[in-house]
């Protein structure tokens, strides 16, 4: 890690737009054991933290988020902040205020979102480890589209102190890398209780002992509306699990999965609309203008000029869902549905070690196709990644096939706190399936 390495990153960034900010130089006289990046919604004292939003332009936090601090203390060099959808609002990283990251396998296609820059950085840089954040699939989706491994730990496993919140009951900090062994090395560093985040203080011990994967459940509800290329790759992966890894695979039914997506969007937008109330031109980033204005005008002007379209849309949706008269119909019902989804997963995971599905219903789309997608179809694209996120269950996306050179991902879901089971499964999978990375790199 030297000036030449940073020059290489700059040159890659010109082509792929994966970092929203990069280190200028390596601190002199210091030695680092590894290089890592942080998604731009994790606070860092030496880089701006803008969460992909223009409203946070210029915001430089006075502290590091706990996962970032722990990575530095373990000998990591933070090389930059990775590009993302504004506040995590998106599936393709096309909602960033700082350019659109491009897929290393095909620059005309999306990296996925919202941790798009993180997945692309790992795909392009051997040995790199990227801190990502998932609310409804923002680690699994880009891992699938960029052909890397993405681990979303149990809700509460990794401290969120210093995270720019999207949905507090959903946000999880995780890791992306090229292999499960790298994830297994760095997860213990960022995991563990942190008094600054009470949700991290109720966790059970992280166990990474190797576990034999006995049986995997495939929910039939997840196999509808899957592109044939993905279906073929997933079916082949299931054959490999059965034949090479001697895992029993069984189709099951989890009816509540059908309702996970609307429940997620109600909760996520409700929580986002309150979290984003703090961005009003006073404390963070973009400053409001004339202070002689009434506060309503001052706040509204800054917010209207600096939030992107998707942020405005989600604020409106969340505000509406929480209004008197709709709260019971939407918000409270969504909380109840989440509990049903958790119970249904628990029922299936009593008899099976893991639940497996494809990660995304299609390979990474071209930007021209994304422009033509209807809003509801964009939201529906998350229907496989949302259920474990809604339920706070740990999950991992591993590459499981390629269609026309574009990677396809398989998502494995485990019981709460069983990250070790996921890493065991991914490690065994890597013994049976060879990952590919773009040749030109």
Partner 1 sequence: MEPEIVKKVARIARLQLTEAEIGEFARDLEEVLEYFSMLDEASGAEEYDFNPVKIQDVLREDSVGQNIDPELLTRMMDTYEEWVRGPRLI
Residues 169-228 that bind partner 1 (CB under 8 A): 169-170, 195, 198-199, 201-202
* Shortest spacing between CB 51 and partner 1, in angstroms: 15
Q: Which is nearer to partner 1, 244 or 339 (CB)?
A: 339
Cβ–Cβ under 8 Å, residues 120 and 108: no
Give the nearest distance from C-beta 409 to partner 1 in angstroms. Answer: 23
- Shortest CA distance to 391 belongs to which of 343, 321, 329? 343
Residue in 211, 245, 340, 373 binding partner 1, rule: CB under 8 A = 340
Q: Is 282 a residue that touches partner 1 (CB under 8 A)?
A: yes
Whole-angstrom distance, CA of residue 304 vs CA of residue 309: 9
Task: Work out whether 120 is an interface residue with partner 1 (CB under 8 A).
Answer: no
| Packing angle, helices 333-351 and 257-275, rounded to 10 | 130
| Out of 39, 69, 102, 338, the residue judged to bind partner 1 by CB under 8 A | 338
Specify the residue, 70 or 338, whose C-beta has the smaller distance to partner 1: 338
Q: How far apart are CA 428 and CA 167, in angstroms?
A: 33
Choose which of 14, 205, 283, 350 interacts with partner 1 (CB under 8 A).
Answer: 283
| Phi, then psi, of 310 in degrees rounded to 5 | -70, -35
**Residue 54 near partner 1 by CB under 8 A:** no
Q: Which residue lies nearer to partner 1 by CB, 240 or 258? A: 258
37 lies in the binding site for partner 1 (CB under 8 A):
no
Q: What are phi and psi of 357, to 5 degrees?
A: -145, 165
Q: How many residues bind partner 1 (CB under 8 A)?
A: 75
* Residue 303 binding partner 1, by CB under 8 A: yes
Q: Outline where 213-276 has alpha helix (H).
A: 228-243, 257-275
Nearer to partner 1, 277 or 441 (CB): 277
In whole angstroms, how close is the CB of 315 to partner 1 at the nearest point?
A: 5
Q: Cα 373 to the chain's mean position, in Å? A: 21
- Report d(CA 22, CA 2) in Å as an integer: 13
Residues with Cβ within 8 Å of 360's Cβ and at least 6 positions away in sequence, in order, are: 112, 140, 141, 144, 145, 230, 381, 384, 385, 408, 409
The answer to whether the beta carbons of residues 59 and 278 sit under 8 Å apart is: no
Residue 39 annotated to the active site: yes
Strand ranges (E), 328-417: 354-358, 395-403, 406-413
Cβ pair 111, 99 in contact under 8 A: no
Considering only residues 333, 369, 402, 435, which one is a binding residue for partner 1 as defined by CB under 8 A?
Answer: 333
Which residue, 240 or 319, has its beta carbon nearer to partner 1?
A: 319
By CB under 8 A, name the one of 90, 156, 308, 387 that touches partner 1: 156
Based on CB atoms, which residue is closest to partner 1, 90 or 104? 90
Identify which range of 92-100, 245-253, 314-322, 358-366 contacts partner 1 by CB under 8 A: 314-322
Stretch that binds partner 1, among 73-81, 102-110, 235-243, 321-329 (CB under 8 A): 321-329
Exactly one of 3, 323, 432, 441 binds partner 1 (CB under 8 A); that residue is 323
Residue closer to partner 1 by CB (options 109, 338) is 338
Strand pairing category for 172-177 and 34-39: unpaired
In the complex with partner 1, the residue whose CB is nearer, 16 or 47, is: 47
Catalytic site residue from 138, 256, 397, 424 = 138
- Applying CB under 8 A, does 301 fall inside the site for partner 1? yes
- Calculate Rg over the CA atoms of the chain: 21
Identify residues 125-144 at the interface with partner 1 (CB under 8 A).
none
**What Å distances lie between residue 198 and 157, 165, 172, 194, 221, CA to CA?**
11, 15, 14, 7, 35
User: How many angstroms separate the CA atoms of 270 and 317, rounded?
Assistant: 7
Give the per-residue contact string, 412-431, with partner 1 (x = CB under 8 A; - = no). Answer: ----x---------------
The residue within the footprint of partner 1, chosen from 312, 369, 427, 430 (CB under 8 A), is 312
- Residue written as tokens 């942080």? 38
* Active-site residue, selected from the candidate residues 20, 39, 53, 159: 39
Site string for partner 1, 366-395 (x = CB under 8 A): --------xxx--x----------xxxx--
Contact letters for partner 1, residues 221-260 (x by CB under 8 A): -----------------------------------x-xx-
Is residue 180 part of the annotated active site? The answer reads no
DSSP structure class, residue 330: I
Active site residue 114: yes
Q: Which of 222, 237, 192, 253 is nearest to 425 (CA)?
A: 237
* Rounded-to-integer distance, Cα 356 and Cα 392, Å: 16
Give the position of tokens 């054959």: 239
Is the CA virtual torsion 34, 40, 42, 43 positive or negative? Answer: positive
Catalytic (active-site) positions: 39, 114, 138
């Amino acid at each position: 890690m030297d000036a030449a390495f940073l020059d290489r990153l700059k040159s890659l960034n010109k082509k792929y737009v994966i970092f929203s900010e990069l280190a200028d130089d390596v601190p002199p006289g210091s030695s680092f054991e590894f290089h890592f990046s942080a998604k731009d919604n994790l606070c860092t004292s030496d880089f701006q933290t803008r969460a992909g939003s223009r409203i946070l332009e210029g915001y430089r936090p006075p502290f590091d988020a706990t996962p970032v601090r722990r990575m530095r203390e373990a000998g990591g060099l933070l090389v930059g902040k990775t590009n993302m959808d504004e506040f995590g609002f998106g599936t393709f990283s096309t909602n960033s205020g700082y350019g659109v990251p491009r897929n290393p396998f095909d620059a005309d296609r999306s990296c996925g979102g919202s941790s798009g820059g993180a997945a692309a950085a790992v795909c392009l840089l051997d040995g790199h480890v990227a801190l990502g954040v998932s609310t409804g699939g923002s680690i699994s989706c880009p891992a699938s589209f960029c052909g890397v491994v993405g681990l979303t730990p149990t809700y509460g496993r990794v401290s969120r102190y210093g995270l720019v919140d999207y949905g507090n009951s959903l946000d999880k900090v995780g890791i992306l890398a090229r292999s499960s062994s790298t994830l297994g090395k760095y997860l213990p560093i960022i995991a563990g209780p942190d008094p600054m985040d009470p949700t991290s203080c109720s966790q059970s011990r992280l166990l990474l002992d190797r576990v034999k994967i006995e049986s995997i459940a495939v929910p039939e509800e997840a196999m509808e509306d899957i592109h044939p290329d993905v279906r073929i790759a997933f079916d082949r992966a299931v054959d490999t699990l059965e034949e090479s890894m001697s895992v029993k695979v069984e189709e099951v039914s989890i009816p509540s999965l059908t309702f996970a997506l609307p429940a997620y969007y109600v909760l996520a937008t409700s929580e986002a609309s309150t979290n984003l109330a703090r961005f009003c031109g006073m404390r963070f980033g973009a400053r409001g203008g004339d202070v002689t204005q009434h506060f309503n005008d001052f706040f509204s002007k800054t917010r209207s000029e600096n939030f992107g379209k998707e942020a405005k849309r989600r604020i409106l949706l969340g505000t509406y869902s929480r209004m008197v008269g709709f709260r019971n119909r939407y918000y409270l019902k969504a909380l109840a549905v989440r509990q049903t989804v958790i119970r249904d997963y628990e029922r299936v995971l009593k008899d099976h070690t893991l639940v497996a599905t494809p990660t995304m219903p299609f390979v990474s789309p071209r930007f021209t196709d994304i422009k033509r997608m209807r809003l509801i179809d964009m939201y529906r694209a998350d229907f496989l990644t949302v259920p474990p996120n809604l339920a706070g269950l740990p999950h991992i996306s591993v590459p499981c096939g390629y269609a026309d050179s574009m990677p396809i991902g398989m998502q494995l879901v485990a019981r709460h706190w069983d990250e070790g089971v996921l890493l065991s499964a991914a490690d065994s999978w890597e013994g049976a399936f060879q990952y590919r990375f773009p040749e030109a790199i």
